[in-house]
Amino acid sequence: MKVHINLLLVVFLIVAARCTQKTSSSSENENTTEASETYTMDDFKTMKKIDSHVHIYTEGTTIMDLARDYNFRLLDISVDVPSYPAVEKQVAIRAKHHADEPDLIAFSTAFTLTGWDSEDWADRVIDQLSKDFEKGANSVKIWKNIGMEAKDKDGNLIMIDDPKFDQVFKFIKDQGKVLLSHAGEPKNCWLPLDSMTVKNDYNYFKSHPQYHMYLHPELPSYEDQIKARDNMLAKNTDIPFVAVHMASLEWSVDEAAKFLDRFPNASLDLAERVSHTQYQSQQDREKVRNFFIKYQDRILYATDFGQKEETDLEDLKKYMMEVWLNDWAYFNTEEMVKVPQLDDPVKGLALPKQVVDKLYRTNAEKIFVNAWKEN
């Protein structure tokens, strides 16, 4: 009788263990499912988001108003472009927007290469940046004119790894600010128009032949631009760094991954380069999806929207909604998304919610600390 009781006890314990294991396994599966759930198109308006790359050159508030309506905050980026307002004026406009709505908009500054050949160039730049930081700027943008346009007194192009920049970059790091870099251009820039992979590059370089490097073989190559940027980072490995426009490595998520692996303090923004990942998705969707998942802590959502005095505001609003909604569908659903930059539709990546949260908000909050403040 005792043997039978012991046998029954053993059977009971085995069954109980199996039930416990099954319950634990079910719980783990539920957690995994929950962690991998995706957002829907209905979530677009309600989810808090950050667009980490816009340009507002006017006191007009169209971009800001639409951003608030759709739960976006903004990083408004200054840039040293000859045809745009002077950097000083850009900073004044952005500082005013930031002061009026600090919970909505943060901003960067920039510097010019005016007086590059003078011995005190770096000191004057640092003095200007110091004043801009006091006004609220949280970052500094360097543009493609370095490496593609600006020259010294001897007619040589100024490259971003020039030692003369080192003092400026050290100051930015020591002030706890972020360096933003637009180095070079998409690789399409060095191809003939009819070989370009996306329509937005075709349209841009057709309209801006001065930046279409295929037409200017006398200037540094694509590889020269990337090498100079990477040389600069190798000297400044501890500076918080955002390589805008996907680090000009938009043509290959494999190359973008190598860049992120080499420079652990660097991140990428997606401004005007989502179409390039969509093009790659058409070739190998899983590779692109895995890239966003693996590097989910290093990528910022961004658009490159711009508003000037002469901008048609209705066209701007229409364009903003088209881009925002197409991008949201691409990152969050498995829908076939028709985008203007490609002839054929692209299947969405259906990224997990936690990846989208980082892409659209928390990565920017970690990089640009306390950039958006409550009124």
Query: Each residue of 240-251: pLDDT tens digit?
Result: 999 999 999 999
Decide if pLDDT at 142 tops 60. Answer: yes
Average confidence (pLDDT) over 251-275 = 98
Q: How far apart are CA 182 and CA 177, in angstroms?
A: 17
* Tokens linked to 6: 């012991």
> In which element (H, E) is residue 300 found?
strand 299-300
Decide if pLDDT at 5 tops 70. Answer: no
Q: How far apart are CA 134 and CA 173, in angstroms?
A: 15
* 24, 340 Cβ separation under 8 angstroms: no
Fill in the DSSP letter of residue 157.
B
Map tokens 């989910």 to a residue: 296
Q: Tell me what pLDDT residue 164 has.
A: 97
Q: How far apart are CA 260 and CA 292, in angstroms?
A: 12
Angle of helix 313-332 versus helix 62-69 axis, rounded to 10: 40
Question: Is the Cα dihedral 179, 117, 149, 235 positive or negative?
Answer: negative
Decide if pLDDT at 10 tops 50. Answer: no
Q: How far apart are CA 100 and CA 191, in angstroms?
A: 44
Average confidence (pLDDT) over 123-128 = 98
**DSSP bridge partners of 266:** 241
Q: Tell me what pLDDT residue 36 has.
A: 60
Q: Tell me what pLDDT residue 33 has.
A: 35
| Top-confidence residue, 9 or 120 | 120
Q: How far apart are CA 86 and CA 58, in angstroms?
A: 12
Q: Tell me what pLDDT residue 91 has.
A: 98
Q: How far apart are CA 203 and CA 31, in angstroms?
A: 46
Where exactly are the structural domains of the chain? 58-367
| Top-confidence residue, 183 or 17 | 183
Decide if pLDDT at 11 tops 60. Answer: no
Question: Is the Cα dihedral 60, 274, 295, 161 positive or negative?
Answer: negative
Cα angle, residue 117 at apex, residues 113 and 122 outer, rounded to 5° = 60
Compute CA distances 132 → 98, 127, 283, 304, whole Å: 12, 9, 44, 22
Average confidence (pLDDT) over 228-244 = 96
* 132, 111 Cβ separation under 8 angstroms: no
Q: Tell me what pLDDT residue 375 has.
A: 52
Average confidence (pLDDT) over 132-146 = 97
**DSSP bridge partners of 49:** 72
Q: Tell me what pLDDT residue 83 has.
A: 84
pLDDT tens, residue by residue, 144-203: 999 999 999 999 999 999 999 999 999 999 999 999 999 999 999 999 999 999 999 999
* 140, 173 Cβ separation under 8 angstroms: no
SS3 223: helix
For 279, phi then psi, to 5°, come to -60, -45
* 183, 160 Cβ separation under 8 angstroms: yes
Q: How far apart are CA 301 and CA 332, in angstroms?
A: 13
**DSSP bridge partners of 268:** 243, 299
Q: How far apart are CA 359 and CA 351, in angstroms?
A: 10
pLDDT tens, residue by residue, 20-73: 443 333 333 333 334 469 999 999 999 999 999 999 999 999 999 999 999 999
Please list, in sequence order, all residues whose beta carbon lies within 8 angstroms of the beta carbon of residue 181, skipping any fewer than 6 positions away: 141, 142, 160, 229, 241, 242, 243, 244
* Tokens linked to 205: 């370089």
Full DSSP string of 230-267? HHHHHH-TTS-EEETGGGG-TT-HHHHHHHHHH-TTEE
Decide if pLDDT at 237 tops 60. Answer: yes
58-367 is classed in which CATH architecture? Alpha-Beta Barrel (3.20)
Q: How far apart are CA 315 and CA 318, in angstroms?
A: 5
